[in-house]
Structure 1
Amino acid sequence: MKGLLSMLVVGAASVLAVPHQPGFFSEDLLDTKGKQLWKEIKAAIPGAKMTDFFNPPKAAERRPDSFWDHIVSGSEAKGAWVQNEGEEASDISDYGMRVKAVDPSKLNVDKVKQYSGYLDDNANNKHLFFWFFESRNDPANDPIVLWLNGGPGCSSMTGLFMELGPSRVDKSIKLVHNPHSWNSNASVIFLDQPVNVGFSYGSSGVYNTAAASKDVYAFLTMFFKQFPQYAKQDFHIAGESYAGHYIPVYAADILAQKSNINLKSVLIGNGLTDPYNQDPYYQPMGCGQGGYKAVLSKSVCDNMKRAIPTCQQRVKACYDNPKNIQACVNGASYCNGAFLTPYQQTGRNVYDVRAPCEDPQNLCYSIVGWISKYLNKPEVLEAIGTETKSFASCNYSVNGGFFNMGDWNQPYHRKVPEVLAKIPAVIYAGDADYICNWLGNHAWSDALQWPGQAQFKSKTLTEVKNSVNGKAMGQVKNHGGFAFFRLYGAGHLVPYDQPENSLDFFNRWVGAEIYFAYPKETNKKPGKAVLILSDVRGISVNSQLLADYIATCGYLVVIPDLFRGDKLLPDRSPDFDLYAWLAKHTTNEVDPMVASTIKMLREEHGISRIGGVGYCFGGKYLCRFMKDGNIDVGYTAHPSFVSREELSAIQGPLSIAAAEIDDILTTALRHESEEILAKVGQPYQITLYGGVSHGFAVRGDPSDSHAVNSKEQALTQALVWFGYYM
């Protein structure tokens, strides 16, 4: 038994390398050193949790098929996707799914449509529980998000009822509505995984991320088979903590398949992804160099600094030979003993350097215990159809199993470049966390080897303001679909500590980023706003400057990101396929973003009159929405791809700034547009600017005085038009 035990205690991610077979362990089997380690383990882990290591499989009773509203077999799903894609993906024949519609009135978690149920791995007797909430906004078009808590071994029900879900549990074990739930503008799936976590159960376990990935892939394939109405929407995977291991692997595996999973991006919050580059930043975070005062003594800080080279050497041994389980376990044990144990001995919250650990029995947060009490109510268990007899926030046997298999130090960050080759990724971090702190996450993001590394690393963090209240919420840097976001004033659990900023960040990423420019109170025009629909460069510095200037005239100004971060860059490669890019940004993708922005202006900001500005690409969407009470007054500069039907359908005043040199809005098309507008019967004007080319009104040459003058005149044209008709 010598060497089998090593200790790693990290709150919700408490990891102990101990045997997990029930009935196997006895202290008498340990040598002197092992007994000492075991004594430390028992002192560090609440006694009630210790039994989890040696418990037999959870007590569960399978409900009869008549209980469920929908039952799908893996062979059905497999057949559907082979037919649709023309080739076979991973075999899921042994899987099935059982689903029930949750009556919202029974529990009052939210009023939206809900489903719960189980993914069944019938061959291996594994059953993964999920709970789905539709978007409060526009479920037919809003994105779908899979949320994963970490641990490993901690339930996503904690994320549901503590962080980003529709309701939270208070100390009286009552539900409190969460106005900042992530299902405000997205439908969210909360999945308990891997098996034996939360309400999931089974007689066989999963103890590494790669094995867990197969179950998640099967779950998603089955879910979108059962609910094809959600399969067409953009899908994202988000999670925190040990999900920094899960998500790169899960996403890479999904993207390698031909399936019905429309994965568009991933979000990793305060994740453990690259220990080699993250572990050295425990020392500066705890010693006053992370934006908060030091919580460790100078002697402890000095010891931690000396431990960094050995730690990295041991992590590298695992990276060099990931199949060497003993090397991977030894590295994780050493590093966490050097950097986490001294911190925990201070009594501080490992998830928030600003606070003490208020409730050691419940991962330092009393609300975790309240959630367990709520989810163990018989009426809750019945309403959502759980088959386990009880709920626990974390399963420490699963946790220990992952540690024993060497999963902690696996180089899963190497999967991130595979993901970035196909979809965007954002690494976000609350800046008061210790366990997976923002310094370490920033460091591994910079160190990641991928084609855009040099450009990404050279970027500086720039401040970001909340879209609604205009207050600073964090700092961001991004390049080529890879982003890092530091969120101010949040610990490990960003949606819990900063719910409003968390939702704003989330909406920017999975929906569309929105830039706001606010008027001064002294000249504010109540109830009036200007919506800028950008050219192909999206929310650029130029468009932001234009928005800021328009706001000085009294208007609230917004610019939605019509391209979900996939804007055209001026330094794109010569072989870039413009038509392939345009094919990704059609009316099917852009219309819902424009519609939701208009809805937000009307309902959340009380706007009664909207003026629209459409530059180039945005000109088409200006015309498409100048009807049916959407955009009231329009202005467009050098519009692109506007059809005759779209121009003929406008129902408000329209002003056009045209360039003399324009291969898209040619002279012939300009004259035809004049003829169409004359027949429409709405006020219109078309002003021709000589000696300038397409794009002059938003991205002209600043060194050309004529181009600058033309740009300023075009902006004046817009403001005069709005002043008269708004």
Structure 2
Amino acid sequence: MADADIATRAPESDAQEDVQQTPTPSAPAEDQQSSTEPAKMCDDCVTDRPTPTGQGPTGEIRKLNDIDVYVSKPSEYPHTSARLLLLLTGGTGLKSTNNQIQADKFASEGYVVVMPDLFEGDEAPNSTTVDAGQAAAETTTSEGRSTSTTTGSSFLDTFKIKAAETAKSFMIDMWLARHTEEKVLPLLHKIIDGAKDEFADAVSYGGGIYAVGYCFGARYVLLLGAERKPVAAGGFLGGGSAAAKPADEEAGADAASNGPHIKAGALAHATLVSKDDFEGLKAPVSIVCVENDPLFPDEVRKHGEDYLSKSNVEHEVQVYPGVPHGFAVVGDYNDLHIKEAQATAFEQMLKWLQNH
């Protein structure tokens, strides 16, 4: 597939202004673009947009290999064959209605969708959590108006905003420290083992397992699609830590565990991806990107494209302008251009899976 950047029809709009004005807990975009450190997460990764009117989930939350999962199936399954799809969410997690509806959309297209709880019930702290604490600290006038509306309190307002941003950044950092690669990948391997057992027919029909990932979950599509040496606890599976040591082969690490664990994957507006995460990637991938996205810097994306081209890994990359990070997940946007881009991104990812 061609690896040139392809834009959707969505033009630059007031949505772009929304992206620029939305405060994030991380550094300014220009600093992040040049930084070698992984980008942090923004509000779009940890806070749901309103659920579109009239929509609701149709699947069920249950256990698979002792892990909570949301399972959504085609209406005619198992009488009609279906492929198996692993859906990896952003920080909003398993119980997000929008994430569940996203899984249902793929199920309606002929996939048995397994969406695991990547965070074991510990979803990312969102802006509502932090703002509630900020609101509690505010006093109101007898007229019911916040004192922050007065000129004299402008300094206090600024202080409160900065304090809330600092608290939010700290909470996200602590959350990320609890959900590292060493914790998430073993959980995904358990899910894959369970899915191969329970949904063997779907795995066989598709010739393997497919995967889609959004925000936090997008990075793990890359990792699951790669051929990587297993490492002992405390190390990283991939190109991350120089101190990582190969796992003891006598402890059960064999060639089959090296991956890739998926047949093909698609990912949208990834976060926390480093250049090393493309190393060893073998599975064909479709990548949905947001223009000028500090959470998935151009330098990281371009490195990935170059690596995949040189490695002869089939891939496509499409860059969507004028949309906020997180736009591809189900959610209600007032801007028509964002809605159109969301539908286009879904079709991009779906067609890639169908063609592989």
When the two structures are superposed, what TM-score results if normalisation uses the length of structure 1?
Answer: 0.29
Query: Aligned partners of 1:523, 1:600: CA distance in 2, in Å?
Result: 18
Query: Residue 557 in 1 paired to residue 113 in 2?
Result: yes
Query: Aligned partners of 2:291, 2:183: CA distance in 1, in Å?
Result: 31
CA gap of 1:465–1:686, structure 2 versus 1, over 3 A, is closer
Query: Residue 617 in 1 paired to residue 227 in 2?
Result: no
Query: Residue 526 in 1 paired to residue 81 in 2?
Result: yes
The answer to whether the 8 Å contact 2:84/2:199 transfers is: no
Higher Cα Rg: structure 1 or 2?
A: 1
Shift of 1:544: 0.8
Residue 537 (structure 1) aligns with: 92
The answer to whether the 8 Å contact 1:661/1:693 transfers is: no
One-letter amino acid of the counterpart of residue 580, structure 1: M
Query: Residue 601 in 1 paired to residue 195 in 2?
Result: yes
Residue 157 (structure 2) aligns with: none
Report Cα offsets for 1:274-310 as digits up to 9, x if no partner: xxxxxxxxxxxxxxxxxxxxxxxxxxxxxxxxxxxxx
Shift of 1:526: 2.9
Residue 417 (structure 1) aligns with: none
Residue 713 (structure 1) aligns with: 344
Query: Aligned partners of 2:61, 2:222: CA distance in 1, in Å?
Result: 29
Q: Secondary structure at the match of 2:323?
A: strand
Query: Aligned partners of 1:587, 1:466: CA distance in 2, in Å?
Result: 24
Shift of 1:716: 0.5
Shift of 1:699: 5.5
Query: Aligned partners of 2:77, 2:110: CA distance in 1, in Å?
Result: 8
Q: Secondary structure at the match of 2:193?
A: helix
Residue 666 (structure 1) aligns with: 297
Shift of 1:700: 5.3
* CA RMSD, 1 decimal: 2.4
The answer to whether the 8 Å contact 1:661/1:692 transfers is: no
Residue 3 (structure 2) aligns with: none
CA gap of 1:463–1:707, structure 2 versus 1, over 3 A, is closer
Aligned residues with identical type, % of pairs: 32
One-letter amino acid of the counterpart of residue 120, structure 2: R
Residue 129 (structure 2) aligns with: 572
Query: Aligned partners of 2:120, 2:61: CA distance in 1, in Å?
Result: 18
* Alignment coverage as a number of residue pairs: 224
Shift of 1:624: 0.8
Query: Aligned partners of 2:79, 2:302: CA distance in 1, in Å?
Result: 38
Report Cα offsets for 1:486-529 as digits up to 9, x if no partner: xxxxxxxxxxxxxxxxxx4xx69xx5320000112279763621
CA gap of 1:702–1:523, structure 2 versus 1, over 3 A, is farther
Q: How does 1:211-290 map to 2 (within 5 A)?
A: none
The answer to whether the 8 Å contact 2:272/2:295 transfers is: yes
Residue 486 (structure 1) aligns with: none
Query: Aligned partners of 1:521, 1:639: CA distance in 2, in Å?
Result: 33
The answer to whether the 8 Å contact 2:275/2:300 transfers is: no
The answer to whether the 8 Å contact 2:223/2:277 transfers is: yes
Residue 587 (structure 1) aligns with: 181
Shift of 1:703: 1.6
CA gap of 1:465–1:635, structure 2 versus 1, over 3 A, is closer
One-letter amino acid of the counterpart of residue 195, structure 2: L
Higher strand share: 1
Report Cα offsets for 1:183-211 as digits up to 9, x if no partner: xxxxxxxxxxxxxxxxxxxxxxxxxxxxx
CA gap of 1:524–1:587, structure 2 versus 1, over 3 A, is farther
When the two structures are superposed, what TM-score results if normalisation uses the length of structure 2?
Answer: 0.59
Residue 320 (structure 2) aligns with: 689
Shift of 1:711: 0.9
Q: Secondary structure at the match of 1:717?
A: helix
The answer to whether the 8 Å contact 2:214/2:268 transfers is: yes
Q: How does 1:191-590 map to 2 (within 5 A)?
A: 465=60, 467=62, 504=63, 511-521=66-76, 526=81, 528-539=83-94, 540-570=96-126, 571-573=128-130, 574=164, 575-576=167-168, 577=170, 578-590=172-184
CA gap of 1:701–1:666, structure 2 versus 1, over 3 A, is farther
Query: Aligned partners of 1:690, 1:562: CA distance in 2, in Å?
Result: 29
The answer to whether the 8 Å contact 1:617/1:641 transfers is: yes
One-letter amino acid of the counterpart of residue 516, structure 1: V
Query: Aligned partners of 1:659, 1:635: CA distance in 2, in Å?
Result: 15
CA gap of 1:524–1:598, structure 2 versus 1, over 3 A, is farther
The answer to whether the 8 Å contact 1:615/1:637 transfers is: yes
Q: Secondary structure at the match of 1:693?
A: coil
Query: Aligned partners of 1:525, 1:659: CA distance in 2, in Å?
Result: 36
Of 286, 294, 299, which residue of structure 2 is paired with 1:655? 286
CA gap of 1:463–1:665, structure 2 versus 1, over 3 A, is closer
Query: Aligned partners of 1:693, 1:640: CA distance in 2, in Å?
Result: 13
Query: Aligned partners of 1:623, 1:724: CA distance in 2, in Å?
Result: 19
CA gap of 1:525–1:624, structure 2 versus 1, over 3 A, is farther
CA gap of 1:524–1:543, structure 2 versus 1, over 3 A, is farther
Query: Aligned partners of 1:464, 1:688: CA distance in 2, in Å?
Result: 31
Shift of 1:593: 1.2
Q: Secondary structure at the match of 1:678?
A: helix
The answer to whether the 8 Å contact 1:512/1:563 transfers is: no
CA gap of 1:518–1:699, structure 2 versus 1, over 3 A, is closer
Unaligned 5+ segments in structure 1 are 1-461, 468-503
Report Cα offsets for 1:343-379 as digits up to 9, x if no partner: xxxxxxxxxxxxxxxxxxxxxxxxxxxxxxxxxxxxx
Q: Secondary structure at the match of 1:620?
A: helix
Query: Aligned partners of 2:77, 2:316: CA distance in 1, in Å?
Result: 31
Query: Aligned partners of 1:526, 1:635: CA distance in 2, in Å?
Result: 21
Q: Secondary structure at the match of 1:696?
A: coil
Residue 334 (structure 2) aligns with: 703
Report Cα offsets for 1:55-75 as digits up to 9, x if no partner: xxxxxxxxxxxxxxxxxxxxx
The structure whose RCO (Cα within 8 Å, separation 6+) is larger is 2
The answer to whether the 8 Å contact 2:67/2:191 transfers is: no
